Structure formats: structure tokens, C-alpha cells
């Protein structure tokens, strides 16, 4: 299989939600994105829009409730916890 590297821009809240999911599942961000892209082929555009609204809502709640100075540091800590 040939691999292609590319850059993608995400809104910060979506990026942080994806990073949190990757840390929680102990997967790379790229693996989570590939998984999501594969899974979305089975969903209708309305289902995808609903899921994205849910992700954005959760990201906003996490940002308000986290109480941490740096989400990056929190994600790194979460990923490497035993």
C-alpha cells in the first residue's frame, strides 16, 4: 500500500476532541482520523452532521470544565498514564 502525507486544517475544538479520543484509545491521531473516514462511508450526511455537532458540543464542554492550563499537556499525560 502506498501512503501519502498531507496537511489538514481543523478547528481547534475538533482537533482537541480528536486528540482526546486518540489518547483515550491509545492510538495515533492519524489512526483515529483514518478510522473515522472509513466509518463515515457507512453514514448518511445527516448522521455525520449530527455526530460532528455532538463532538463540537463535547469539545466546548471539555474546554470549559478542564481547568488545565494546557490541553496539550493534559492529553500527553492522559495518553501515557498506566
pTM: 0.47
The dihedral region occupied by 8, where left means phi > 0, alpha psi between -120 and 50, and beta the remainder, is beta
Domain residue spans of the chain: 12-79
Give the residue carrying C-alpha cell 492522559. 78
Separation between Cα atoms, residue 73 and residue 39, nearest integer Å: 29
Q: What is the pLDDT of residue 69?
A: 63
Q: What is the pLDDT of residue 38?
A: 82
Q: What is the pLDDT of residues 10-34, one digit of tens each?
A: 899 999 999 999 999 999 999 999 9
Note whether 58 and 64 are within 8 A (CB): no
Burial pattern 27-45, b for ≥16 Cβ within 10 A else e, equals eeeeebbeeeeeeeeeeee
Amino acid at each position: 500500500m502506498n501512503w501519502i502525507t498531507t496537511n489538514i486544517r481543523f478547528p481547534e475544538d475538533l482537533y482537541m476532541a480528536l486528540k482526546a479520543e486518540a489518547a483515550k484509545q491509545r492510538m495515533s491521531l492519524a489512526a483515529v482520523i483514518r478510522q473515522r473516514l472509513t466509518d463515515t462511508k457507512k453514514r448518511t450526511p445527516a448522521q455525520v452532521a449530527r455526530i460532528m455537532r455532538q463532538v463540537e458540543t463535547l469539545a466546548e464542554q471539555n474546554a470549559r470544565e478542564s481547568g488545565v492550563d494546557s490541553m496539550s499537556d493534559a492529553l500527553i499525560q492522559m495518553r501515557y498514564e498506566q
